[in-house]
């Protein structure tokens, strides 16, 4: 079977009758069996359930029944979205064996449209990381080069799509956890405006920042999934009823660049690719203007203070009484101490302790409230920038995918992996990452597009123009004849 290149092509093959849902599922499961022992993208697999759902869809299609917009398309889901009938662990020993009594809204919405869930994807424990090396189960390797990380925390999702385990995955982004893996694995992703996609059923890291989003092979796949996934959800108190703004033509768009930020780029091919993308947008009639985000230099400490405080507060529920796998002890506090000591990994403990320190009465005003004020300054910088431009571009990351065990002993170096993605998260702005070619070593490079609230459609239109000139779809490991 010649596998379709992307989700849209797979849908066209299904509708034309040249492929069946069963064949797509069997192809994905065959890839998983052949490669996931080494790549480690998945934590749970529902092979028989996926095959049964595929057979049902094939029968409905054959009989002429009306089907959903994604009928027959296999996909994966990051394992911090709860799923009825499948384990949900957030890659932590604390939730080992947990099975939720309900499914996340996005999981239900996608399956209602006929998408077929193959299994749950690996992540950094409780989404705390930038490499998917901090999973309690196992690290995930990048299908482009198995000696390198796929990014994080949605690295299992990104690796799954790049390796051909279905046609898309849904992950989450708190400070770059979709965009960085997309850049490292040669994929497309969208971190939406707050409220565009439902978060109901997402195990939270930092409620004021967490956003779900899809990872796809092509921009047109991303456009379709944005339409399918968006919409108000009364179960999510942050969910918005506002419609997305219509896509604008590239001709006449003012595209901003942040020249001081480019000094942070360590990899010359990324700077060269960034300049090439600007030339492409100029050729489409865009105007390039220089802008500033004056408080971008404080985004990193601001982000980590907010995340640590929210994380420490939220993780208090995992105590062996309310939630979490219990370690038996005779005394209550001994039990809680043992449960948390054995249930959480080192990075989770580090952030909980940091957050607990920040939340001490004598520290809240200086650190937590100070970070919130800094966040407001960053949001104002974005508002001012969008008076001068319609969107702006940066590299998604300062480097291509780094080697496994390269930054494990240096938390600050790992945190700096998200330098370019953090500001948009703090400001609540939508952001797309799309490939902009590969370097001399054949490693993918990504560019980030950031827009004003609810301008996702315009960002995706610009991403499509970049993909047309600089896209690397045919180089993806799932399509170019080999993986890793």
Catalytic residue annotation: 78, 153, 177
Closest CA to 179 of 463, 460, 354, 418: 418
**Which of the 8 DSSP states describes residue 481?**
T
Query: Which residues fall within 8 angstroms of residue 352, CB to CB, at 6 or more apart?
Result: 308, 311, 312, 315, 344
Query: Which residues fall within 8 angstroms of residue 447, CB to CB, at 6 or more apart?
Result: 273, 274, 277, 393, 394, 395, 396, 433, 434, 435, 436, 466
Place of tokens 């998260």: 425
Q: Indicate the angle between helix axes 370-388 and 299-314, nearest 10 degrees.
A: 130
Q: Are 157 and 50 in contact (CB under 8 A)?
A: no
d(CA 350, CA 346): 6
Query: Which residues fall within 8 angstroms of residue 302, CB to CB, at 6 or more apart?
Result: 371, 374, 375, 378, 426
d(CA 170, CA 216): 9
- Burial (CB < 10 A; 0-12, 13-18, 19+), residue 249, is exposed
Structure tokens that stand for 378 in this block: 């960053």
d(CA 442, CA 312): 40
Q: Are 106 and 78 in contact (CB under 8 A)?
A: no
Question: What radius of gyration, in Å, describes the C-alpha atoms of the chain?
Answer: 21
For 73-142, the DSSP string reads: -EEEEETTB--BTSB--TT-GGGTT-BBSS--HHHHHHHHTT-EEEEEE--SGGG--SSS---SS----B
Query: Which residues fall within 8 angstroms of residue 63, CB to CB, at 6 or more apart?
Result: none
d(CA 33, CA 210): 32
Structure tokens that stand for 9 in this block: 């092509």
d(CA 177, CA 142): 15
- Residue 289: C-alpha distances to residues 251, 338, 385, 389 (Å): 14, 56, 10, 7
């Amino acid at each position: 079977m010649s596998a379709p290149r992307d989700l849209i092509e797979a849908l066209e093959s299904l509708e034309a009758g040249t492929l069946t849902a069963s064949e797509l599922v069997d192809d994905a499961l065959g890839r998983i069996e052949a490669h996931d022992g080494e790549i480690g993208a998945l934590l749970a697999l529902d092979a028989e359930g996926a095959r049964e759902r595929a057979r049902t869809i094939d029968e409905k299609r054959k009989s002429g029944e009306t089907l959903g917009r994604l009928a027959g398309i296999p996909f994966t889901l990051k394992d911090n979205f709860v799923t009825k009938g499948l384990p949900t662990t957030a890659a932590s020993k604390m939730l080992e064996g947990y099975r939720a009594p309900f499914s996340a809204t996005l999981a239900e919405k996608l399956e209602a449209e006929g998408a077929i869930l193959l299994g749950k994807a690996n992540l950094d424990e409780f989404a705390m990381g930038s490499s998917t090396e901090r999973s309690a189960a196992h690290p995930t390797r990048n299908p482009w080069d198995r000696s390198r990380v796929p990014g994080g925390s949605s690295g299992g999702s990104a690796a799954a799509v790049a390796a051909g385990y279905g046609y898309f995955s849904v992950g989450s982004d708190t400070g770059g956890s979709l965009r960085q893996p997309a850049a490292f694995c040669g994929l497309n992703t969208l971190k939406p405006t707050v409220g565009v996609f439902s978060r109901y059923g997402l195990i939270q890291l930092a409620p004021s920042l967490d956003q779900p989003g899809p990872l796809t092979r092509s921009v047109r796949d991303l456009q379709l999934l944005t339409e399918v996934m968006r919409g108000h959800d009364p179960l999510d108190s942050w969910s918005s009823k506002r419609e997305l703004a219509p896509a604008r033509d590239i001709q006449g768009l003012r595209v901003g660049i942040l020249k001081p930020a480019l000094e942070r780029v360590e990899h010359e091919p990324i700077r060269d690719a960034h300049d090439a993308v600007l030339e492409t947008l100029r050729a489409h009639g865009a105007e390039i203007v220089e802008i500033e985000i004056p408080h971008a230099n404080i985004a990193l400490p601001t982000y980590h203070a907010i995340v640590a405080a929210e994380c420490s507060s939220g993780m208090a529920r995992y105590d062996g009484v309310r939630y979490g796998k219990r370690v038996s002890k005779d005394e209550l506090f001994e039990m809680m101490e043992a449960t948390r000591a054995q249930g959480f990994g080192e990075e989770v403990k580090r952030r909980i302790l940091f957050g607990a320190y920040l939340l001490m009465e004598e520290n809240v005003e200086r650190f937590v409230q100070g970070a919130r004020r800094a966040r407001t300054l960053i949001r104002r910088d974005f508002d001012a920038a969008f008076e001068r431009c319609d969107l702006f571009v940066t590299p998604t990351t300062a480097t291509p995918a780094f080697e496994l065990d390269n930054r494990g002993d240096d938390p600050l170096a790992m945190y700096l992996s998200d330098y370019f993605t953090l500001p948009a998260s703090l400001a609540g702005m939508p952001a797309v990452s799309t490939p902009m070619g590969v370097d001399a070593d054949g490693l993918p490079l990504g560019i980030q597009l950031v827009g004003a609230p609810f301008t996702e459609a315009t960002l995706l239109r610009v991403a499509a123009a970049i993909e047309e000139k600089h896209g690397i779809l045919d180089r993806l490991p799932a399509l170019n004849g080999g993986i890793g």
